[in-house]
Amino acid sequence: MAAPALIALAHGSRDRRSAATIKALVDEVRSMRPDLRVEAAFLELSKPDFHSVVDRLVKAGHDEIVVVPLLLTHAYHARVDVPAGIAEAAERHPGLRIEATSILGLEASFLEVLDLRLREALSSARVRELDALVLAAAGSSDPLANQAVARLARLWGTHHRLPVTAAYASSVPPATGEAVRAFRAQGRRHIAVASLFLAPGLLPDRAAELALEAGAVAVSEPLGAHPNLARTVLARYAVGAVELVPV
């Protein structure tokens, strides 16, 4: 019996770099599991949309699909949009068994990717000294989502033995510029910002712009396509595939 197909479901963006990055991550997943049918899909703004991908998989003969939401926090899209999409797909395709897994989330292994991206930014800016860090994320109206980012920031700061502040590009303070200025008010002058975003887009660009205007010495690129993220996608898929097994 064929393994369930895997849909890596991202939010989507008008920025073409975002979809290209998601598709590169999906290519990384495919390289690790060439036996699986793996597809990228988007909730909005980018193509292909979720239902088009489901339709294509059903037409190709797949009657089991595991959907891994490529979302870093359990906010509105995870709580509302993903379940609604799954329910609609099941209604449109009687006989299809489709399961959404836990979101990609914020794994400790992602700190390795943050460090890699930050080292790249520091090297490009020729920065060798740091005395504070800012972890920039999208931000949410859901306080639990923001708390998850803050917890990761504390873990990251403990690892580097540096003060770290979580900052947000929308919904809640502090913004990245505010976080950088707060550190500068303490006399710190070597402040770098790590981008806790999955892919490039408007929010990461704005967060970087505000940070640099406030005096950050470097801002990293988003996480992007990295084996640690691909392995997490496959770990989520494995759990979802088991849940599709009849009992």
- Global confidence as pTM: 0.95
Res 55 pLDDT > 90: yes
- Convert the pLDDT of each residue in 11-42 to its tens digit: 999 999 999 999 999 999 999 999 999 999 99
Span 51-70, mean pLDDT? 98
Contact 70, 39 (CB under 8 A): no
Q: What are phi and psi of 105, to 5 degrees?
A: 80, -160
Q: How far apart are the first and last CA of the chain?
A: 16
5-105+225-243 and 110-219 in the same fold: yes
Contact 74, 43 (CB under 8 A): no
Res 1 pLDDT > 80: no
CA distance 105 to 114: 14
Residues counted in the chain: 247
- Crossing angle of helices 227-243/110-125, nearest 10°? 160
What single string gives the DSSP state of each residue in 83-129? HHHHHHHHHHSTT-EEEE-------TTHHHHHHHHHHHHHHHHT---
Alpha helices in the chain (DSSP H): 16-32, 50-59, 76, 82-92, 110-125, 143-160, 176-185, 202-214, 227-243
Strand partners, 64: 97
**pLDDT on residue 85:** 97
- Convert the pLDDT of each residue in 101-145 to its tens digit: 999 999 999 999 999 999 999 999 999 999 999 999 999 999 999
CATH 1.10.940.10, applies to 5-105+225-243: no
Res 7 pLDDT > 90: yes
Domain boundaries, the chain: 5-105+225-243, 110-219
Identify the CATH assignment for 110-219 out of 3.40.50.1400, 3.40.50.720, 3.10.300.10, 3.30.310.50: 3.40.50.1400
